[in-house]
Amino acid sequence: MDYETIRYDGTDGVLIITLNRPDKLNAFNEQMIQETIAAFKQAGRDDHVRCVVLTGAGRGFSSGQDLKGFEERGEEVSIGEHLRQGYNRLIMRMVTLEKPIIGAINGVAAGAGCGVALACDIRIASDQASFMQAFSKVGLIPDSGSTWMLPQLIGYARAYEMAITAEKVTADKALAWGLVNEVVPAAQLDEIVAAWAQRLAQGPTLAFGLTKRAMRRASGMGLEEALAYEAMLQEVAGRSHDHREGVAAFLEKRAPEYRGD
Ligand code: T3D
C-alpha cells in the first residue's frame, strides 16, 4: 500500500512507521490518521512483522490534531464522531496489535500525539522529547485514550496536573514519573531503538503478543478472572514451537532460535 503522510519501512522482522509531516511537527490531518490506522492493520496481517517502531520525522514526534484542519472543517463537525472514526480506531488498532510497539519518541508528543505515544508498549525517549497534554490549551479534554492510560501510568494527581496545566513534561521528568522506559541522547535514539527492536523481533513474539493481550485485559478484571485468563492464554503459549525451543535451548546451553509461533 502507498502512503503519503507516513513512511512504512520494514526489514528483518522490524517495521518502522514514521509520522511524516515534519513541517507541522507531524500533526495529524485526516489522511495521516487514516493512513496510520491502515499501517497498523497491515502490520497485524504481515507475519514477517514481529515488532513495530513508531516515530516522527524531523524534530517532533507528533503535535496532535492539525489545528489548521480544525479551523477549516467549520463548526458543524461532530468532534465525537471524528474521534470515533479516527483516533479511537487508531488507539484500538495499536493496543490490540499482538506485537510489541516501541515508541521512539524523538521530540514533542502533544495532544493526540501524546495519546498515540501512550498507546505504544515501550517508550524510548530522546533527551529532546517532551510530553504535553495540550488539549486544555484549546478548551478540550484529553482524548485518544489519555484519560485511561495516563492515570494508570503515572497516577491520577500527575495525570490531572498534566491535563489542566497543558505544560510540557521533559524526558527526564517523564522517566522519573514512569511515563517512559528509557531516556537516551538524541543522537543515539535510532541506534538504541534498533537494538531494542531487533531483540524483540528475535524473541518469542507469540508469547509477547499474548502477554500484551493478557495485561490489557487484566486491567479490567479482578484477580480471579485474570488468573483464569492467564491459564487460558498459557495453554496457547505452552503449545508453541517457541516454548519447546526455549526449554530445549536452556537445557542444551545454547541460544534459542524463536520463530514467533
Ligand atoms: O476532532 C478531534 O479529533 C479532536 C481531537 C483533538 C486532539 C488534539 O490533539 S487537541 C491538541 C492539538 N495540539 C495542540 O494544541 C498543540 C499545538 N502545538 C503547540 O502547542 C506547539 O507547536 C508545540 C508545543 C507542540 C511545539 O512548539 P514549538 O515552539 O516547538 O513549535 P512551533 O513553532 O509551535 O511549531 C512548528 C510548526 O508546526 C509551526 O508551523 P510554522 O509556523 O513553522 O509554519 C506550527 O504552526 C506547526 N504546528 C505545530 N503544532 C501544530 C502545527 N500545525 C497544525 N497543528 C498543530 N497541532
Q: Report the nearest atom of ligand 1 relative to the CA of 168.
A: 24
Handedness of CA 82, 84, 88, 93 (dihedral sign): negative
pLDDT higher than threshold 90 for residue 73: no
State in Å: Cα 67 to ligand 1 middle: 7
Pocket flag, ligand 1, residue 90 (CB < 6 Å): no
Nearest to 114 by CA among 160, 161, 179, 199: 179
State in Å: Cα 66 to ligand 1 middle: 7
Q: What is the pLDDT of residue 1?
A: 80
Q: Report the nearest atom of ligand 1 relative to the CA of 143.
A: 7
Pocket flag, ligand 1, residue 25 (CB < 6 Å): yes
CB 105 within 8 A of CB 180: yes
Domain 205-252 belongs in CATH node 3.90.550.10: no
Q: What is the pLDDT of residue 70?
A: 75
Q: What is the pLDDT of residues 14-50, one digit of tens each?
A: 999 999 999 999 999 999 999 999 999 999 999 999 9
Q: What is the pLDDT of residues 184-216, one digit of tens each?
A: 999 999 999 999 999 999 999 999 999 999 999
Q: What is the mean pLDDT of residues 140-157?
A: 98
State in Å: Cα 111 to ligand 1 middle: 9
The residue ranges of DSSP E strands in the chain, in sequence order, are: 6-11, 14-19, 51-56, 60-62, 101-105, 108-110, 122-126, 130-132, 169-170, 182-184
- Expressed in angstroms, the distance from the first to the final Cα of the chain is 26
Q: What is the pLDDT of residue 69?
A: 80
pTM of the model: 0.97
pLDDT higher than threshold 80 for residue 92: yes
Query: Would you tell me how many other CB atoms lie within 10 Å of the CB of residue 35?
Result: 22
Range name among 48-62, 75-89, 109-123, 220-234 with the lowest pLDDT average: 75-89
Nearest to 153 by CA among 199, 78, 234, 215: 215
Q: What is the pLDDT of residue 74?
A: 73
3-class SS of residue 59: coil
State in Å: Cα 17 to ligand 1 middle: 20
Domain 6-201 belongs in CATH node 3.20.20.70: no
* Domain parsing of the chain, residue ranges: 6-201, 205-252
